[in-house]
A and B are shown apart, each in its own frame.
Chain A
């Protein structure tokens, strides 16, 4: 990234971005120009995968965009805490992971009902539940069922291809602990997927039975 053409700003720079920090240690001092340049390059390189990661964690596109924005602002703010440029990707994932967990922690309990005028005691309709099932596959539903930290570890390792060391850095834990977490995550996913498939098979069997019943009575 070339330097800014105006003092104090990274808004007016021109030219093709390049990796601003790779191969050099950060100074530990926050500098507006450097932070701006750094985050812009970081954004250009990683915003797609960070958005994808957050979307897979949160399952809400608009919210994922908000959290991605939040993650890059935090990166801008904490630019001086990155010691080595080559660790920037894992460091950015760490920020995004924390942003996601923060959000999940805050929202996970309260379930405000949609204001449809339903009276007290009413529950979601069968059609609504069926729609929810159709909108997501077994893998997505199973991922939603496993603990958030395990979900994050699986996504980073398998979908976003972080190495073992990167995963540990992104999770903010030791390499051994990251491996253990990932192992638990695989087992959780296996069980959750098995449960999803069992439920799906039962639903299909029920549908078949209902169809057979209607056919029989229709004759």
Chain B
């Protein structure tokens, strides 16, 4: 594209540029006489510029013709706006009532009780004040400025919902962090309805100094895990903190859960993590591989066994279970709350990530792989679902990638999901291939997941559906990670073999329990199925082979989460220009068939920061901060059956939803 003001050495070209610029600006305001004279002279001798002049004029007429086609605003626009303004006023009122220092624009002389009443009055009276044909709005008022009295949105009935308790953190007025919890009992069909902003029922101070990468609440409710930001030179820590005021833990409570809520008004990060020398971060010259032999969880398979007293953490103060790492992807508790799994790499080396496990109550997390190419993906019952990246080949021919080493590929399972069939693979690009496997955290026995190029699979808690990136990976050039290659995000059925994976420990693997891509052992002995010829066929665990595309590649990044019922799927896809921001969608699956319900699309795509919380009856996320220093909102979509509604918190800084 030719830019009119671009400076070039070529005088001839520059004169054309100048002519175009003068033509263009002449429409905004008359040119100076000297410029006008120059332009006239130039046009007389330049056919190309005369054509441009004519084209600009014709385009301008086309644009100005749009003035005659003024679109009609919705008739309830004022009612909606007035209600939203009243909500804004109420928010300021509440902020002031809490004693927050008023800002120059902040007022709040109106009692909250009056505010809700005024909302109704405002809608009715405000709408009636808008003239309906008898009042001149002014010379520039376009047609269609009349506003009707009808206020369908504001009259929507709030929806009662029963949801899991929600927790989040945010920056308090004094700059410290707060841990907040609330119950969502009522949502509105849209945000402009009568629902007051969500407010927390309980607030606890949290002594962290910067916004964390992620915060997790254990399934037992006994502790929270804070993944600090990986942005600092020292890397990230994963810190375990007690949650003093959440409901008491169930019978399977971990040793660290015995904390008296009444004696711990706030949670505080440890000043010095215990035994940091055994973490990758403390040994920058040593790769994490050196940790593996002594750190296998199989050394203390008995969950009741106490850790070494000398290294025993103080559960009431909080402690780091790993330091000096870059946490890759999400960390997650096992459904029973006994384990935490994540993948991480050293913040000081140039190697990829390994899989870490932390048994709740242990002083430290342990790296259970040392190949520097293993990624935690999620939990499937009591087993870890993980990925390992197999090195591909440099290929100028997309079909050549089929020769990459893959463990027991099952091409018949995923015929249409095979990205090798896509003829858009760029030439001479190394495309690596992910393989998935299950890992028993107790025994470290592994079970392969069938199918090639199954990356970051998320299996729904009922074990019927799986979402994964069906495609290749491309080394990012740093030696520490991979980016998504050719492929797409798909949903498919999930085959769990002849029986669901067992939680019972099986035969302990020989040597180390380090998972490999080609394990020789499976965890359970099942009746061997046979094919049509009567030959034994190994039970298949993996995608069913009927993928449906959710998001087309290429993609910068994604994340997926199922709700406990397996019928609500949240999909977050990163923005290529800003991977911290993305678009969130909720997909509804049919309860019986688990097929996507195209008629129910409660969240077609909302701007969201990375990290959401989906649990019984609700999905919560943080909206990106806006311009002019505006903060974010915590936004909640909740449902009751097939009815959906939303509610959001007041604006706040440093919001992070607790998963």
- Residues of A whose CB lies within 8 Å of any CB of B are 7-14, 16-17, 19, 28-32, 36, 39-40, 43-49, 51-52, 55-56, 61, 65, 68-70, 72-73, 76-81, 89, 98, 102, 105-122, 139, 154-155, 157-159, 161, 164, 167, 179-180, 182-184, 186-191, 193-194
Given A112-B585, A159-B66, A186-B56, A78 and B71 touching (CB < 8 A)? no
Interchain residue pairs with CB less than 8 A apart (18): A39-B85, A49-B140, A51-B73, A52-B70, A52-B142, A69-B77, A112-B583, A115-B548, A115-B596, A117-B548, A117-B595, A117-B598, A119-B548, A139-B63, A157-B28, A158-B27, A161-B67, A183-B24
Interface status of B607 (Cβ within 8 A of chain A): yes
* Segment 5-25 of B: residues with Cβ below 8 Å from A: 5, 20-21, 24-25
Given A77-B105, A120-B549, the answer on whether A48 and B24 have CB atoms closer than 8 Å is no
Q: Are A48 and B59 in contact (CB under 8 A)?
A: no
Shortest Cβ gap from A118 to chain B (Å) = 7
- Does B100 belong to the interface (CB within 8 Å)? no
Determine the chain A residues whose CB is within 8 A of the CB of B122 once the complex forms: 9-11
- Pairwise interchain contact B28-A48, C-beta atoms closer than 8 A: no
Chain A residue nearest in CB terms to B608: A106
- B125's contact among A12, A179, A193, by CB below 8 Å, is which? A12
8 cross-chain pairs, A with B, having the tightest CB-CB distances, nearest first: A11-B122, A106-B607, A110-B583, A48-B142, A183-B24, A51-B73, A30-B105, A158-B63
Within 8 A of A (CB), among B570-590: 571, 573, 575-577, 581-583, 585, 587
A31 lies within 8 A of B59 (CB): no
Q: Which residue of A lies closest to B64 (CB)?
A: A158
Shortest CB-to-CB span from B84 to chain A, Å, is: 5
Q: Is the Cβ of A186 less than 8 Å from the Cβ of B575?
A: no
Q: Which residues of A contact B144 (CB under 8 A)?
A: 48
B607 touches A117 (CB 8 A): no
A189→B59 contact, CB < 8 A: yes
B285 within 8 A of A: no
Q: Would you call B71 and A52 a contact (CB within 8 A)?
A: yes
Query: Which of A28, A29, A56, A69 has its CB near the most chain B CB atoms (within 10 A)?
Result: A69
Task: List, in ascending order, chain B residues with CB within 8 A of A14's CB.
Answer: 129
Q: In the complex, are the beta carbons of B549 and A107 less than 8 A apart?
A: no
A46 to chain B, nearest CB (A): 8
Provide the bound-state CA to CA distance between A17 and B89, in Å.
21
Question: B551 to A111, Cβ gap below 8 A?
Answer: yes
> Who on chain A is nearest to B85 by CB?
A76
Give every chain A residue within 8 A of B70 (Cβ-Cβ): 48-49, 52
Using known A-B contacts A11-B86, A158-B64, A191-B1, determine if residue A120 contacts B583 with beta carbons closer than 8 Å: no
Binary flags per residue of B594-638, CB closer than 8 Å to A gives 1, else 0: 011110010011010000000000000000101110000000000
Asked whether A72 lies within 8 Å of B105 as measured between CB atoms, the reply is no
Chain A residues with Cβ below 8 Å from B601 are 115
Q: How far is the CA of A30 from the CA of B627 in the complex (A)?
A: 19
**Which one of A72, A98, A167, A183 has the greatest number of beta carbons of chain B within 10 Å?**
A183
Determine which residue in A13, A48, A52, A105 has the highest number of CB atoms from chain B within 10 A of its CB, and name it. A48
Q: Which of B420-443 contact A (CB under 8 A)?
A: 421-422
**B575-A120 in contact (CB<8A):** no
Given the contacts A56-B66, A188-B1, A121 and B416 also touching, CB distance less than 8 Å: yes
Q: Report how far A139 CA is from B62 CA in the complex, Å.
A: 8
Interface presence of B3 (CB below 8 A): yes
B22: shortest Cβ distance to chain A, in Å? Answer: 9
Secondary structure dominating the interface of A:
helix
Chain B interface residues toward A at CB < 8 A? 1-5, 20-21, 24-25, 27-29, 52, 55-56, 59-60, 62-64, 66-67, 70-71, 73-74, 77-78, 80-82, 84-86, 88-89, 104-107, 109-110, 114, 118, 121-123, 125-126, 129-131, 135, 137-138, 140-145, 147, 192, 416-417, 421-422, 470, 488, 490, 546-552, 556, 571, 573, 575-577, 581-583, 585, 587, 595-598, 601, 604-605, 607, 624, 626-628
A68 to B84, CA, bound (A): 12
Q: Known: A78-B105, A115-B587. Is A48-B1 also a contact (CB below 8 A)?
A: no
CB distance from B415 to the nearest CB of A (A): 10
Output the least CB separation between B577 and chain A (Å). Answer: 7
Contacts of A189 in B (CB 8 A): 59, 63
> Given the complex, which residues of A lie within 8 Å of B55, measured CB to CB?
190, 193-194
Q: A44-B130, A106-B624, A182-B28 are in contact. Are A187 and B1 (CB under 8 A)?
A: yes
Chain B nearest Cβ from A192, distance in angstroms: 10
In contact, B142 and A40 (Cβ under 8 angstroms): no
Closest Cβ neighbor of B102 among chain A residues: A30
Chain A residue, CB-CB nearest to B138: A45
Query: Shortest beta-carbon distance, B593 to chain A, in Å?
Result: 11
A118 touches B56 (CB 8 A): no
> Which partner residue on chain A sits nearest B145 by CB separation?
A48
CB pair A73–B85 under 8 Å, yes or no, is yes
**Contact status A187-B80, CB under 8 Å:** no
Residue pair A43, B552 in contact (C-beta under 8 Å): no
Chain B: CB-nearest residue to A73? B84
Given contacts A11-B126, A43-B78, A69-B84, contact A190 B142 (CB under 8 A): no
Residues of B within 8 A of A118 (CB): 548-549
Residues in chain A near residue B24, CB distance under 8 A: 179, 182-183, 186-187
List B contacts of A167 (CB < 8 A). Answer: 28
Instruction: Evaluate contact between A98 and B627: CB separation under 8 angstroms.
Output: yes
Is the Cβ of B598 less than 8 Å from the Cβ of A45? Answer: no
Inter-chain contacts of A40 with B (CB < 8 A): 82, 126, 129
Q: With CB as the reference atom, state the residue of chain A lying closest to B470.
A: A120
Docked Cα-Cα span, A79 to B416, in Å, equals 56
Q: Of all chain A residues, which has the CB nearest B556?
A: A109
Contact residues in B for A79 (Cβ distance below 8 Å)? 105
Q: Is the CB of A32 within 8 A of B110?
A: yes
**A112 in contact with B85 (CB, 8 Å):** no
Whether A11 pairs with B125 at a CB distance below 8 angstroms is: yes
Complex: A154 Cα to B66 Cα, angstroms: 12
- Residues on B with beta carbons closer than 8 Å to the beta carbon of A51: 71, 73-74, 77
Q: Are A115 and B598 in contact (CB under 8 A)?
A: yes
A107: B residues at CB distance < 8 A: 583, 605, 607
B575 & A7 in contact (Cβ 8 Å cutoff):
no
CB-defined contacts of B587 to chain A, threshold 8 Å: 115
With A and B bound together, what is the CA distance between A25 and B483 in angstroms?
Answer: 54
Q: Is the CB of A72 within 8 A of B583?
A: no
Give the residues in chain B near A80, CB-CB below 8 Å: 104-105
List the B side residues contacting A120 at CB < 8 Å: 416-417, 470, 488, 490, 547-549
